[in-house]
Amino acid sequence: MEALSRAYGDEALTAFELDFLSNGERRRHPLGASWQVPFEAVEPVRPFRWDKGTPGFAGWYYSATVRDHVGYESWLERDRLILLDRDPQVRAILAQPFWLHWHDGERRRRHAPDYFVRLATGQARIVDVRAEDDMDEGTWEAFVATQRACSAVGWD
């Protein structure tokens, strides 16, 4: 952890918070105090949208990797999930693993990445899936913030 602080500065480790569900209990801690949580073992932080007329195409994909169903909210997410499931380096996949909280200088923001992935090396990877033509300014900002948080703790 000390090496991470030196490499990326303490700012990101305290500027971001992770909010997640573990054993049915909601927990919220600074990024620097929670980045080692085994997120492949937590529960999704929000339900998937199933309502008729809701944009996207939500569903469950049975993952051979995790031997359980993993949720998705669009066909694009489902396709990425299939690719992750077929990747021999992927050992675990969890949808909606946590809320990432931060302040953008004007207001409080939050974002739930689409997937947390654990690789065979033990490395963590955060995956967000969105069609480029479906990206508004707020989405770009959330993805940039997520990248910054991931870099601070050595996640892909």
Domains and CATH numbers, the chain: 2-153 (3.40.1350)
**What pLDDT was estimated at residue 10?**
64
pLDDT digits (tens, 9 = 90+) for 25-76: 999 999 999 888 999 999 999 887 677 777 778 899 999 999 999 999 999 9
Instruction: Give the side-chain half-sphere CA count within 13 A for 6.
Output: 3
Map tokens 């997640």 to a residue.
20
Q: Which amino acid is at 39?
A: F
Which of 81, 151, 142 is CA-nearest to residue 117?
81
Q: How many Å is the Cα radius of gyration of the chain?
A: 15
CA triple 65-71-74, angle to 5 deg: 120
Rounded Cα distance between 89 and 125, Å, is: 11
pLDDT digits (tens, 9 = 90+) for 83-107: 999 999 999 999 999 999 999 889 9
In angstroms, the Cα distances linking 90 to 66, 124, 127 are: 10, 10, 12
**What pLDDT was estimated at residue 132?**
84
* 51: three-class secondary structure by DSSP: coil
Q: What are phi and psi of 15, to 5 degrees?
A: -75, -25
**What pLDDT was estimated at residue 52?**
75
What tokens appear for 18 in the block? 């992770």
